Amino acid sequence: MNRRSYLVLGVTIGTSGCLEFFDQEVYLGGLRLENTSEADHSVEIRVRKDGGQVHESTVDISGMEDDENVLSTEFVECEWPNDESGEFEIAARLTGDDSWVETTSDDTEGDDSCQMVFLRIEETGTLWFNWDDCERYEAENPDTVCGYGTG
């Protein structure tokens, strides 16, 4: 085997384990909106599972009250199929905006097969997503986690 063959073999072996990471299958245990601005907002949300659209809604969320400094939150109804894990894509935008902000289950950093997704609205109107393990939420607030893994 020549040097080039070893190099190609090393690259192939080195990346073979990484390919699994790009097809992260999870259960979507919940989608929570958080509004850190004082303004009320309407947010359009789309959820796709394994490439097919499984949820679309508009959620109204009130702003934080300046004197209370309490984060305003809303949970999206769990209307997506959750009997089997899958690859999820979630997109959101403020009503009236042209561009969507997106995240996929490939963005998860935890090791729980059930993942909660948080969509935060910043004071500037910027949207960003964060994924977290359901495990912690199931223990503290089981009503906030969608049913999953039940046929």
68-123 confidence digits (pLDDT tens): 677 899 999 999 999 999 999 999 999 999 999 999 999 998 889 999 999 999 99
Task: Tell me the residue length of the chain.
Answer: 151
In a domain, 10, yes or no: no
In a domain, 60, yes or no: yes
Percentage of the residues of the chain whose pLDDT score is greater than 70: 81
pTM for the whole structure: 0.80
In a domain, 104, yes or no: yes
In a domain, 149, yes or no: no
Tokens encoding 113: 């097969």
In a domain, 15, yes or no: no
pLDDT at 110: 85
| CATH number of 58's domain | 2.60.40.3110
Range of the domain at 48: 22-144
In a domain, 150, yes or no: no
In a domain, 151, yes or no: no
**Total domain count for the chain?**
1
The residues facing 86 across adjacent strands are: 26
Query: Torsion over CA of 16, 20, 23 and 29, rounded to 10 degrees?
Result: -160
pLDDT at 150: 63
In a domain, 7, yes or no: no
